[in-house]
Structure 1
């Protein structure tokens, strides 16, 4: 279950990696543009503006996100990224902050490239902050005696990971593409009460929220909040800095 309103609370900051990613796609007149994991559709709408002549295909596994995307005027559908294959006329595939939720996603990429026509572009971006203090704190609280039994079955205690840029470049080059891969750490300025807790509530804490009832959820947040405050202290001006590492890869399939 995803909460589009909570996710969009930081939409301007979360959007920065998306635009840095898409700016590296050099397609002029794509026939079809696929947004794989479109979320609430606010960024999908910018793809329609950039390539107004293209068929826009958008889907997400979350019915709540798809409903929000439709409110943005996107004809989105509910689908699983693991089941998706590009249509023959797909000239651009964009997947932004999605594949980290799919443990075997490296196996999907060569299959997608194989199905794409010559000249197509595949652009992906994933978070690379699974060892950040925020995520370490979530796992530590989840592993505490109070929560371990309740949360162990949800996979929250497992450390998720994604490859570094070279890992993606290796896979996509082996699939026959020319690859541009890099990483960026953004320093996000957050404000307000417990801003890092609010930030991770929209993303990393979703599996926790889905597992716990309302009272348990508030108790878990209460356990986590002071750890995050200590890890991310507030500056004298009221700003809290959140390092935000992202991994990018843009692959171009030769004609």
Structure 2
């Protein structure tokens, strides 16, 4: 999760679109007066701020494996919110006590085999608390398949083998897994139609998230050719509409679990 570097400014280029699933996830977390709230994979902290607004009496902690993201989050100067650099797997394995609300937004997809982490995530929540997460579910869309196809070709494949690639499961998989752990589960999916503007907006979107590890794995003398072909193929897959916009369909998968009391 930390082998590549994130750019908070580039990530925030579509802050409203990226933040909407978090807001809708948070709306389904029916926790009253939690004392401890943790955001695993907090990114640049702009969404962690919403947790502090929702529960002003709680001690809120944001955790992210990217030093760049945590530096940006700390720069927000949020009262009552603490940020720390840690891989979520290390955080779960550490001496941290249980919390009332544990949130993870668009992070678990980067953890290989993250279904195996669900017992530890549930165990990190106090009885009757809430575990809430959201992951992308659009990995069969051109925004991902084009990158995968290109990365498997010469001369790129020798550099991209083993690079971090996100993945997730259907809502029913999370529902079944969390229910088996004794949780009361609300799981669902939503496909957003993001209306984007600007030059090559889908290219800009993916290079800030899913394609970023692949691009960073390529040497400087190889990367430009990859970027040029990726940009061109994405432009074909997501054509500009008559009003100058581009529509990016984006499926998201959500789960909110209430742990056994």
> If the TM-score is normalised by the length of the shorter chain, which range does it land in?
over 0.9
Normalised to the residue count of structure 1, the TM-score between the two structures is: 0.95
**Which of 110, 117, 121 is matched with 1:108 structurally?**
117
Q: For 1:94 and 1:121, locate their aligned partners in 2 and report how far apart those are by CA, in whole Å.
A: 8
The number of aligned residues is 252
Deviation at 1:169, TM superposition (A): 0.5
Give the secondary structure class of the aligned counterpart of 1:230.
Answer: helix
**Which of 177, 192, 197 is matched with 1:191 structurally?**
197
CA displacement, residues 160-193 of structure 1 (integer Å, 9 cap, x when unaligned): 5311000000111111110000000000001111
Q: For 1:118 and 1:170, locate their aligned partners in 2 and report how far apart those are by CA, in whole Å.
A: 19
Find the counterpart in structure 2 of residue 12 from structure 1. Answer: 16
Deviation at 1:5, TM superposition (A): 0.4
Q: Does 1:168 align with 2:177?
A: no
Q: For 1:244 and 1:115, locate their aligned partners in 2 and report how far apart those are by CA, in whole Å.
A: 30
Change (3 A) 1:253 1:153: closer
**Which of 67, 78, 83 is matched with 2:85 structurally?**
78
Q: What is the root-mean-square deviation of aligned Cα atoms in Å? A: 1.4
- Which sections of structure 1, spanning at least 5 residues, go unmatched? none
Deviates more, 1:145-154 or 1:8-17: 145-154
Deviates more, 1:8-17 or 1:216-225: 216-225
Kept in 2: contact 1:7–1:203 (CA 8 A):
yes
Q: For 1:149 and 1:54, locate their aligned partners in 2 and report how far apart those are by CA, in whole Å.
A: 48
- Which sections of structure 2, spanning at least 5 residues, go unmatched? none
Find the counterpart in structure 2 of residue 237 from structure 1. Answer: 243
Q: For 1:164 and 1:121, locate their aligned partners in 2 and report how far apart those are by CA, in whole Å.
A: 20
Find the counterpart in structure 2 of residue 248 from structure 1. Answer: 254
Deviation at 1:149, TM superposition (A): 1.5
Alignment of 1:1-255 (within 5 A): 1-73=5-77, 74-85=81-92, 87-154=96-163, 160-255=166-261
Deviation at 1:155, TM superposition (A): 5.1
Normalised to the residue count of structure 2, the TM-score between the two structures is: 0.92
Give the secondary structure class of the aligned counterpart of 1:33.
Answer: strand
